[in-house]
Structure 1
Amino acid sequence: MADIAQEAGFRKNQKLKDALLQHKALSRQGFSERLFGLLFSGLVYPQIWEDPEVDMIAMELSDQHSIVTIGSGGCNMLAYLSRSPKKIDVVDLNPHHVALNRLKLAAFRHLPGHGDVVRHFGMDGIRTNSKSYDAFIAPNLDAATRAYWDKRSIAGRRRIEVFDRNIYKTGLLGRFIGAGHLIARLHGIDLTQMAEAKSLREQRQFFDARIAPLFDRPLIRWITSRKSSLFGLGIPPQQYDELASLASDGSIAPVLRQRLEKLACHFPLRDNYFAWQAFARRYPKPEEGTLPTYLKAENYRAIRDNAERVTVHHASFTELLAQKAAGSVDRYVLLDAQDWMNDEQLNDVWSEITRTAAPGARVIFRTAAEKSVLDGRLSPALLDQWSYLEERSSELNLEDRSAIYGGFHIYVKKA
């Protein structure tokens, strides 16, 4: 039933189809695009996998700025509110992400306190979360978002009840991480043991001894040589091709090993909630480490007070910007969306970015490969209006705790 619902959702979501489908249905590339589209039509990211601390440093974010960002799981949008920006427009082509973003905003505005927000989004196994939703959040949601979270599955459970369990084990990404744990267990490795490491040295030892050898196993090399193997990470066929361009033998296992090594070994575990989600499938407890930026106590008041400054749109980046006045946007966050785009789509979105950019505007984005996707693809007439902060981009890429991208990029509008 869920598969049928997802297929129907993809067929009806013309915005997603327009963004993703670039080849004929009966071609090999077209089949991959449509398979990814079916998977992507459900909830994909219960947590966003771009580091908001890096984002805010790169944007030099202040209370004077108007932001347009892709929503994904909503964590970063909320983190930006801690800097009290003037306005945030959130866009997403996935209606599940739209509903999650609106739910998180309503939770900050209407749950009684910080502890309630943390219980709802930062802890697992809290059986009363759906009751808190009923009492405080649901009455303050728009009709469509409330209907989404109140909808029942074939088993009779409401969607909101996922927060009584562990939302981070759900969605396309959550299931992908779960599959990774299962494959590791089939090879005798319990990835949750990484959470027992007390230092960077112990993290390195666990990675080198237990995790790294997995990438030489024939099963894993076979799996990772297929595009569909990474659809669970939300990586579309085009993005897989970018990763494969870094490999020499058709398998991207060495690339994935390198990215996982950064996640496991380059940052103290207690400071990296991305690693906790990957290895422990939850966030750390207070004695174990720190929560995401948007769930930290010191940011709660600013996020709650500023939540009304956010508007969430079921729209593409280009579509929303076309409705904006010239020179009206200060900061743009594209996540990795450009890895999906063909040259026409890329030039369309940058035409609108350039038109709507205020003086000194900044654009940040990530790429699967190391190089910027704009090189050799964006019209010189557009590209010449922007300065690429290559050195600063490289510096901040090293600080990105999620570790799954090859490149981080900052562009600044020329005067």
Structure 2
Amino acid sequence: MQHAQIVQDQLGEAVLQKGKLSLTGLQERLFSRLFQNLVYAQIWEDPVADMMALEIGPEDHVVCIASGGCNVMSYLTASPAAITAVDLSPAHVALLKLKLAAARHLPDHARFYDLFGHADQPTNPELYDTYLKDKLDPVTRAYWEGRPYGRRRIRMFTQGFYRHGLLGRFIGSAHVASRLGQVKYDALLSAETLEDQRRFFEENMEPLFDKPLVKFLGRRPAALFGLGIPPAQFDKLAADGSGDVIPVLRERLRKLMCDFPLNDNYFAWQAFNRGYGPEGRGGVPPYLAEENFATLKANTDRVRVLNRSLTDMLAGEPAASRNAYVLLDAQDWMNDGQLNDLWTQITRTAVKGARVVFRTGGTEDILPGRVKEEILSRWTYDAEMSRACFEADRSAIYGGFHLYRFNG
């Protein structure tokens, strides 16, 4: 109970930047409460772009934020020496531990894919009962066997798991709003060319952004909580639109719909089909690909999963011991003190040549002028690779992808 309270306090500290009685402060407190439960059934950062930047090798010890766990599982296909994954959400920790147990103990890829690829099979609870539940630690098992709505949580995998969580419900609400606007995504999902995808966007989606209700909701920070965007990150999005978030949202949606072929963008399928495409259409994260299953199974014991903050975890690690760091977009949530505490520990634990990748809601790198010069000067920003990885990131939700390399 004491550990749970500490984690809850840390989550509040990660989000809360304004006074408790201000409107923004109240919004931050609401977001903090929402984030204590499952937010991302699937992570919304492209692990292929991450691995392109990190160039993970067999000697590397990777440190990352777990979120939905798709990143951690996909990094395992590169066979690093070790991965330490942390998250302040106990739900995300339980999800990653379930994925690791499934890769380790399910006998074949078909059943693994039933659980996390189809994620809607009526036999999935039986897989859990037969192969997994006795392999889980008590806290993780209690989570999946908990009954917050009268049924075990593991039954989410019979109903379309990716429809659950804060993001899944947000996408469901967006589908309802689309239907009210007479927009159906069948034509998009059957598109054969990028030109077909662009035409669908121009004819069906662009007009929605001119509707008063869309403008009204889109300009309210609380309306975007379902995307995992706290008020501080909302402000960065709006800054890219000269104070108006609507053109930014329009451009991010355009990139998701138009810049990548639908036969190789599982993020688009998650957004517009609420699950991965049928018969593999649209691709899947690397960890779900059949050709990677044997490697994944062999490497599951290389992961350590902790319900802690990244800064606190790193403070307990040896100096000069880590090679790669994945921060997702967590820094967008941080004040200057939190940023400097984090980068102090990253710099202390990094080996020469270590890489750090992160994303930002806005376009610009947020570290210069905020992280102390004596710390940041020990790192080199790789602008060329950052730009290449941003362009390759199929998730399309962020304004920037950033790569730093440690000078030693």
> With structure 2 as the length reference, what TM-score do the two structures score?
0.97
Write out aligned runs for 1:193-232 (5 A). Answer: 193-232=187-226
Q: 1:259 aligns with which of 244, 252, 256?
A: 252
Question: For 1:294, which of 287, 293, 296 is the aligned residue?
Answer: 287
Of 120, 136, 150, the match for 1:125 = 120
Aligned structure 1 segments of 4 or more residues deviating by more than 6 angstroms: 9-12
The residue type paired with residue 69 of structure 2 is G
The answer as to 2:157 corresponding to 1:163 is yes
Tell me the residue number matched to 1:113: 108
Does 2:323 align with 1:330? yes
In the alignment of these two chains, the number of paired residues is 405
Shift of 1:282: 1.0
Aligned with 2:355: secondary structure?
strand
Aligned equivalents of 1:145, 1:219: Cα separation in 2: 41
For 1:40, the equivalent position in structure 2 comes to 35
Tell me, what secondary structure is at the counterpart of 1:134? helix
Matched residue, 2:306: 313
Per the alignment, in what secondary structure is the counterpart of residue 270 of structure 1?
helix
Partner of 1:146: 141
Pair 1:11–1:67, CA change in 2 (3 A): closer
Give the deviation of 1:261 after TM superposition: 0.7
Q: Secondary structure at the match of 2:347?
A: helix
In the TM superposition, residue 124 of structure 1 has moved relative to its aligned partner by: 4.1
**Identity score, percent:** 50
Q: Aligned partners of 1:47, 1:117: CA distance in 2, in Å?
A: 15
**TM-align CA RMSD:** 1.3
Gap regions ≥5 residues in structure 1 = 1-8
Q: C-alpha distance in 1, partners of 2:119/2:35?
A: 24
Q: CA deviation at 1:315?
A: 0.5
Aligned with 2:240: secondary structure? coil
Q: Deviations over 1:34-92 (max 9, x none)?
A: 01112212100000011111100100111110010000000010000001100000000
Aligned partner of 2:171 in structure 1 is 177
**Cα shift at 1:24:** 2.4
Residues 36 and 231 in structure 1, CA contact (< 8 A), matched pair in contact too: yes
The reply on whether 1:187 has 2:198 as its aligned counterpart is no
Q: Does 1:25 align with 2:17?
A: no
Kept in 2, the 8 Å contact 1:10–1:16? The answer is: no
Q: Tell me the secondary structure at the aligned position of residue 365 of structure 1.
A: strand
Structure 2: which amino acid aligns with 1:412? Answer: R
SS in 1 for 2:17: coil
CA distance in 2, matches of 1:25, 1:367: 25
Q: Aligned partner of 2:404: which letter?
A: Y
| TM-score, normalising length: structure 1 | 0.95
Question: Are the counterparts in 2 of residues 224 and 251 from structure 1 also a CA contact under 8 Å?
Answer: no
Quote the residue 1:64 is aligned against: 59
Determine the C-alpha separation between the residues in 2 that align with 1:380 and 1:48.
32
**Does residue 245 of structure 1 match 2:239?**
yes
1:271-305, Cα deviation, whole Å (9 max, x unpaired): 00000000111101226232221100111111110
Q: 1:262 to 1:141 in 2, by over 3 A?
A: same
